[in-house]
Amino acid sequence: MQTALNTPSTPRAVPSTPPQQQRDTAGSPTGQNLAHYQIIRRNGAVVPFEPNKIAIAMMKAFLAVHGTQGAASASVRETVDVLTQGVIRAMVRSRPGGGTFHIEDVQDQVELGLMRGGHHEIARAYVLYRERRTQERSKQVEQETPATPTLHVLDNGERVALDLNQLKGLIESACENLGDSITAQPIVAETMRNLYDGVPLDEVYKASILAARTLIEKDPDYTFATARLLLHTIFKEIIGREVMPVDRATAYADYFPQFIKKGVENDLLDEKLLQYDLPRLGAALKAERDNQFDYLGLQTLYDRYFLHVRKTRIELPQAFFMRVAMGLSLGEIDREARAIEFYEVLSSFDFMSSTPTLFNAGTLRSQLSSCYLTTVPDDLDGIYESIKENALLSKFAGGLGNDWTRVRALGSHIKGTNGESQGVVPFLKVVNDTAVAVNQGGKRKGAVCTYLESWHLDIEEFLELRKNTGDDRRRTHDMNTANWIPDLFMRRVMEKGTWTLFSPSNVPDLHDLFGADFERAYVAYEEKAARGEIKPSRTVQASDLWRKMLTMLFETGHPWITFKDACNVRSPQQHAGVVHSSNLCTEITLNTSDTETAVCNLGSVNLLQHLKDGKVDQEKLKRTISTAMRMLDNVIDINYYAVKKARDSNLRHRPVGLGLMGFQDALYELRIPYASQEAVQFADESMEAICYHAYWASTELAKERGKYSSYKGSLWDKGILPIDTLDLLEQARGGYVEVDRSATLDWDALRQKIKADGMRNSNCVAIAPTATISNIIGVDASIEPCFGNLSVKSNLSGEFTVINHYLVRDLKRLGLWDDVMVMDLKHFDGSLRPIDRVPQDVKALYATAFEVETTWLVEAASRRQKWIDQAQSLNIYMAGASGKKLDDTYKLAWLRGLKTTYYLRTQSATHAEKSTVQSGRLNAVSSGNEAPSGMSALEAAAAAAKAQMSAMPATDIAFCGVDDPTCEACQ
């Protein structure tokens, strides 16, 4: 096999791209101006970047395996085109401003593109060809050993000889104290290979970063060396000179007051920050903590978070944390002491505030909240006022949850015009387009989730909003949707009963009722409808509607499954209103009304940092959470509110959402497999500790600052804690609650403390996805299992190889970590399961998300939920999805008392076990009244989705629950 990346000639056998495809790719990377990119050939020559050569190389690889007849295949040509686009897109994303690529780097991307596209046989042939050519070139080098030419660089426009010793010293310092396996030599060699005579000095430093980055898959500790090299360039950009590691503490102290002044002068920072004792705060910065960052974390901060003036960064990592701490201390009496306290928990990675807080704390527009919840009234003025609210909240980067249950259904009478309503769907199309039109602070399109209760007459059309077929005017492709399901519906499903659908204009009180009150009113309306007294209405089999919910969830990923009664019966604030929906990421359960827009401010504890002697370090956790709750409470008073209803609600109830991340990392440290009873028990005990200390911290704040305004009459006021509300839920359901009630801490002491001092915050705990902030501190997101032991994360900063360093540590100990293992992990999408030489106990400990049976995810979530006063963002991962498996999973979630679920992640048939799929048919949810041989709607959904799913490798599934990998609405 030959490759065009090694030869400029273009063989006639390779067909040209058809004119139609050329038009289609005009907006793709190959259709863009790539004149700013160049290729370094192996002889050091720099030549223009020619994308067509990638396509030629790809085609030759296919022809080598499939024979020359493949050249005539339209499918092969189309596949090559798609793969080429992907390769070029990845390269451009890695250096968006232009630059040079070594020929070997391009070939690495081709190899990666073939692997990720599932073309393993082609990739294998390509790898073997490259290896053979490398050996041939090595023989030539042995025969011809020309003298190494002196390289020159451009330093501030002056051409000087490259100081190789200085470069080696820089790289050696980046590798210090990272272990014997992390050495400077391969980084230096790779860096030199990517240089050419006359290269700008800044490009030399960039080349060293890229060189170190390529070694991360060989040993994950190279990520720290890469981060340190990046840190060197950041210091040079911001300080304006070379700063060696030993001098950084002094440099920080001198720079920090200047940074604050510069930020104020450029209208970035609040001038109140100038009132702080800046030299004292500068002296408190701990430069050594810069070494905690891995490459992904530091690059994410640099690209997305650090303040800049005309695209030049002015903020260093420790200054960033102190700026956030200062912004959160503005209302404190001893501001400097509190700022240092807040800085300590942030910079140590013990706790991290949410992305909006990190973005905006201390700035002129301090929009620090992550999520907003609204309810939409049933009148035209109210509907469009709500859409306007969405636009205003979205403008300042808030994630939105909208309750649309009150809006009347299709065919309902409109008294004012004597006409019939078009239902809720046309308005949702407007919401969808508003989210696209109003981008969030210039960062991304708006993020909205719409909720509809399951008795709404438009529910069946609502279920289909995300389908790719049907009338596009009644589709919302850019908006998330969720089912708001009452317990009565679930009981009807379990008992194979019927379910009646109404227009809310005819049953207006159902929206605000839950539990026994809802059931009484609903049954009375059913009786009226049966007598023909309520029109329009429609009766369906509850199991049929349930099956359609699961069908659409499987086919489109929406609407998510959330449970109305669990959210309301267990809400500490049910005396002050009703929870009508959750938020964008399903972890917030706060009341909404026409006068109140719910707001929640988020932050997360890093569980990994709070382990000691094989268990949770209670003392350290208490200290961290005490500080964290103070920070979150401060956000409420400092926050900028785009809507008055949001301000009124937040100041009245003062809810916050303390969450966690690094749950999977903690399991690794404790050597507990996720799929085990021990993991379920650890989920229980760790969540109990977090909640206990969060509630205790809120009582301490109440003692110092006073109770929240609506405290009187709350469940807190009545001495009822979240664990106690399981009894209320079981009573309301008449059973159907199967949850462990064990406890290990002294909850009676907490009850007495609350009785004496009250609570500062109506709600304290919510587990958000933490997709971005977990990247910053280098742990697995939230409560998620590990997605893959070796995988690629994509975000605005490019593509990052992510490798499980705990696994590498164990494989090194067993003598199993080598290049073959790296290739196997790539081939098997980060899974150890098919690799025979790995012991079973290691496979169990490092099982990936799709290898953990779904039941374990639900059981662990159930143990957490019993302690939490809000909810948790719970992704469901399912390999080999079947109708029965979906049915069992979501019924189990309801029985185990979960309030909400988030995305359903199903793995493609090419990766999942196929035992549940026979003859291309998916097993059905039984409706109780259909013939056993009848093909269910879920089977049809499986057939419809088969082509799309089989083409989607597991590594293409987004890490964050939100479809857009750049989404940061919820952290």
Active site residue 583: yes
Q: Which 3 state secondary structure label does DSSP give 397?
A: coil
DSSP for 904-954, please give it: EEE--TTTS--TTEETTEEPPPP-SSS-TTSPPHHHHHHHHHHHHHHT--G
How many Å apart are CA 747 and CA 722, to the nearest integer? 11
How many Å apart are CA 182 and CA 805, to the nearest integer? 13
Among 360, 402, 483, 583, which one carries the catalytic annotation?
583
Which residues, in sequence order, are bridge partners of residue 485?
563
Given a contact cutoff of 8 angstroms between Cβ atoms, the answer to whether 394 and 446 are in contact is yes
- The 10 Å CB-count burial string (b at 16+, else e) for 793-814 is bbbebbbbbbbbbbbbebbeee
Among 389, 587, 688, 968, which one carries the catalytic annotation?
587
Among 175, 567, 585, 786, which one carries the catalytic annotation?
585
- Burial label for 428, CB within 10 Å (0-12, 13-18, 19+), is buried
Rg (CA), the chain: 29
Contacts 24+ apart (CB under 8 A), 570-573: 570/722, 570/725, 570/726, 570/728, 570/729, 570/869, 570/899, 571/715, 571/869, 572/714, 572/715, 572/716, 572/720, 572/722, 572/762, 572/763, 572/869, 573/653, 573/710, 573/714, 573/715, 573/762, 573/763
CB-based contacts of 515, cutoff 8 Å, min separation 6 = 487, 565, 568, 569, 732
| Consecutive H or E run containing 450 | strand 448-453
Question: 3-class secondary structure for 492-549?
Answer: HHHCCCEEEEECCCCCHHHHHCCHHHHHHHHHHHHHHHHCCCCCCEEEEEHHHHHHHH
CB-based contacts of 413, cutoff 8 Å, min separation 6 = 419, 420, 421, 505
How many Å apart are CA 363 and CA 282, to the nearest integer? 18
Active site residue 371: no
In terms of residues, how long is the chain?
A: 971
- The 10 Å CB-count burial string (b at 16+, else e) for 85-112 is bbbbbbbbebeeeebbbbbbbbbebbbb
The DSSP 8-state label assigned to residue 149 in this structure reads P
Given a contact cutoff of 8 angstroms between Cβ atoms, the answer to whether 510 and 456 are in contact is no
Active site residue 495: no
Active-site residues: which are they? 583, 585, 587
